[in-house]
Amino acid sequence: MEFILENKLDKEIEKWTYKLDEMLPITKTPTNEGKDLMEDIIAYRKDSEYFLEKGDIIKSFECLIWAWALLEIGKRFRYLK
């Protein structure tokens, strides 16, 4: 059972990392708040990679969730485009 969950989480990390990596270069930061958010998003993306390399897939996935949340919040409040 544990192996199945790890495998699923690995696939989710791969999928969402790919999507985030596609979004980051095309996301615009028209405000100072947007620039700050983008720095945080990139930091969480890097943290996700760090934890994945260390074998901590749960923390890696959590970092991706935070990155996506900040990206969506930034777009909703028009700090990011």
19: containing domain:
2-76
Q: Residue 61: what pLDDT?
A: 96
Would 26 be classed as within a structural domain?
A: yes
Q: Residue 1: what pLDDT?
A: 55
List C-alpha distances in Å: 81 to 36, 44, 45, 58: 14, 19, 18, 29
Spatial separation of the C-alpha atoms in residues 43 and 1, rounded to whole Å:
32
- For residue 36, which of 71, 1, 61 has the smallest C-alpha distance? 71
Q: Residue 40: what pLDDT?
A: 97
pTM summary value: 0.89
Number of domains in the chain: 1
Would 81 be classed as within a structural domain?
A: no
Would 52 be classed as within a structural domain?
A: yes
Contact 45, 63 (CB under 8 A): yes
Q: Residue 3: what pLDDT?
A: 67
pLDDT tens figures, 42-72: 999 999 999 999 999 999 999 999 999 999 9
The domain spanning residue 59 has which CATH number? 1.20.1270.90
Would 22 be classed as within a structural domain?
A: yes
